[in-house]
Amino acid sequence: MAGKPKLLKVVLLGDGGVGKSSLMNRFVSNKFDAQSFHTIGVEFLNKDVVLDGETYTMQIWDTAGQERFKSLRTPFYRGADCCLLTFAVDDVQSFKNLAMWMKEFLYYADVQDADSFPFVVLGNKVDVEHREVMEGDAKVWCQQNGKLPYYETSAKDSTNVDKAFLWAVQRVVQLEANFEAKINHDGVVDLRAQRNRAAGKKDGCCS
């Protein structure tokens, strides 16, 4: 009999208005709302995905990008398995703020092994005509900040949305498999607990 799907917590971060809610809704419900409202605090949606015959429940946390909601979003970073750092290609300031978002995440998520934490960078709104951030510049930033994977997405026309989310799952599973190999297959199935242990942390989490 198939076991319970493994839960993977994915956090979407980035400036207000870059399209985090829209990306989540496109991925989970295949819908797009041109009049999307600002998120207040956090919201989450689940979606099951199958990878190599194994089912994973992606729990996607959409956070409020506006500065005034900082204290409402940061408590939800802990226990994340992956973080999608998002900017809009027609908003250069949102691209410049990526470093700030990464720092905020690492601080509040209390990640011990920051160097190997699976971040994925999304340059959203590639359907727009006027871009302020070129693909090459985004790739250079990703390269210089831990060789991070980069996807150019559009929640509006679906470009690369599934690909980016599924890559995130694949990366987390791959990293967990590496940790599993290192700790001699001790039979523990809680992915997060395994990573914490490998990083020298106490087991358990707190989302």
Ligand X SMILES: Nc1nc2c(ncn2[C@@H]2O[C@H](COP(=O)(O)OP(=O)(O)OP(=O)(O)O)[C@@H](O)[C@H]2O)c(=O)[nH]1
The verdict on 102 binding ligand X (CB under 6 A) reads no
Interface with ligand X in residues 15-44 (CB under 6 A): 16-22, 33-34, 36, 38-39
The verdict on 149 binding ligand X (CB under 6 A) reads no
* Residues 77-102 as b or e (16 or more Cβ within 10 Å = b): bbbbbbbbbbbbbbbeebbebbeebb
Looking at residue 36, the DSSP 8-state letter turns out to be: P
Nearer to ligand X, 52 or 129 (CB): 129
The verdict on 155 binding ligand X (CB under 6 A) reads yes
Phi then psi for 161, rounded to 5 degrees? -70, -55
Q: How far is the CB of 31 from ligand X (least distance, A)?
A: 11
Angle of CA points 91, 123, 48, to nearest 5°: 135
The verdict on 156 binding ligand X (CB under 6 A) reads yes
Choices 74-82, 120-128, 132-140, 196-204 (CB under 6 A): range interacting with ligand X: 120-128
Q: Which residues pair with 47 in a beta bridge?
A: 58
Q: How far is the CB of 133 from ligand X (least distance, A)?
A: 14
Residue 26, SS3 per DSSP = helix
The verdict on 196 binding ligand X (CB under 6 A) reads no
Which of 128, 166, 199, 205 binds ligand X (CB under 6 A)? It is 128
Residues 6+ apart with CB under 8 A from 82: 8, 9, 10, 11, 118, 119, 120, 168, 169, 171, 172
Give the span between the Cα atoms of 189 and 172, in whole angstroms.
Answer: 14
Closest CA to 76 of 49, 45, 44: 44
Q: How far is the CB of 24 from ligand X (least distance, A)?
A: 8
Total residues in contact with ligand X, by rule CB under 6 A = 23
Q: How far is the CB of 207 from ligand X (least distance, A)?
A: 20
The verdict on 73 binding ligand X (CB under 6 A) reads no
Catalog residues that contact ligand X under the rule CB under 6 A.
Answer: 14, 16-22, 33-34, 36, 38-39, 64-66, 124-125, 127-128, 154-156
